Amino acid sequence: MWRTISSDDKVYLIKFLFKDGMHMQLTNLEDLWEAKLSTKEFMKKFQDLNPHLDSFELSSIIKHVSSLVKDLPDNEIKIIKKGDDVHIGLKSKCDGITINFELPLNSLPKNAIIKGLIIPLMLTVQHLESCQSQLCDLLEKKDAQIHEYEIEFGELSKKSLVTEKFFRKVAFDKPPDNLLLDVFYRRSFWEKMSSKYGIELPSKVIPASITTKLKRGMVPTYKPPVKKGAGIAFYGAETSKK
């Protein structure tokens, strides 16, 4: 998972992973740097930098380094650029004991930023829009359930449970023009990205997202049941106009 850190008033994103070895990436959104260590190399480096510690179990080392890459008040983070590469130094105090970790990170080619950063950002937008669309659908169905309940049994007795009806058109009205909304939902787009960059297709290639649904008249709505017990009838926007 990416995290934000800062050094000398400069902001970076850093990612620390451990799976059959250590993998660290650092970016200033212009350049991308990377370091990889085997499990043996990772443990030796940590031990050499922290000979005063009693325990050198792999799980505790991973925990220590994971805490060092967080932008916390007690953490000291120094990032020094050396040519195209960088050197990162991490230091923190835990219960009065100083923990250190440092290593060089090598510069990656410019096109590595596309796969290492840009595509994950696009996938993040796609995932959040998909979740947002599902939540909006759920809210509309809940409103429909409440509407049917009130028709059959009257208004809710507990005022604390009463909520205003949800309108996605109002909730997501006029987002700023500079946002990348309704861009990454097409299956054809992700198929081409997968073919070109070798990435996996998103597990859920989104249906059209919130604002696209509004533009296309695809917002699900409901009509009150004609008689008691008739249930809830859902209609597309075009059908509801007839």
CA–CA separation, 125 and 131 (whole Å): 10
Report pTM. Answer: 0.72
Looking at residue 204, its pLDDT comes to 63
Looking at residue 94, its pLDDT comes to 76
CA–CA separation, 175 and 210 (whole Å): 11
Type and span of the H or E element at 3: strand 2-7
> Considering the domain 2-107 in this protein, what is its CATH number?
2.170.210.10
CA–CA separation, 65 and 37 (whole Å): 13
CA–CA separation, 170 and 23 (whole Å): 44
CA–CA separation, 106 and 85 (whole Å): 5
Query: Are 45 and 64 contacting, i.e. CB atoms less than 8 angstroms apart?
Result: no
Query: Which percentage of the chain shows pLDDT scores above 90?
Result: 37
Q: Answer yes or no: is pLDDT of 208 > 70.
A: no
**How is the chain split into domains, by residue range?**
2-107, 112-241
Looking at residue 217, its pLDDT comes to 47
Give the number of residues written for the chain.
242
pLDDT, tens digit (0-9, with 9 covering 90-100), for 5-39:
999 889 999 999 999 999 999 999 999 999 999 99
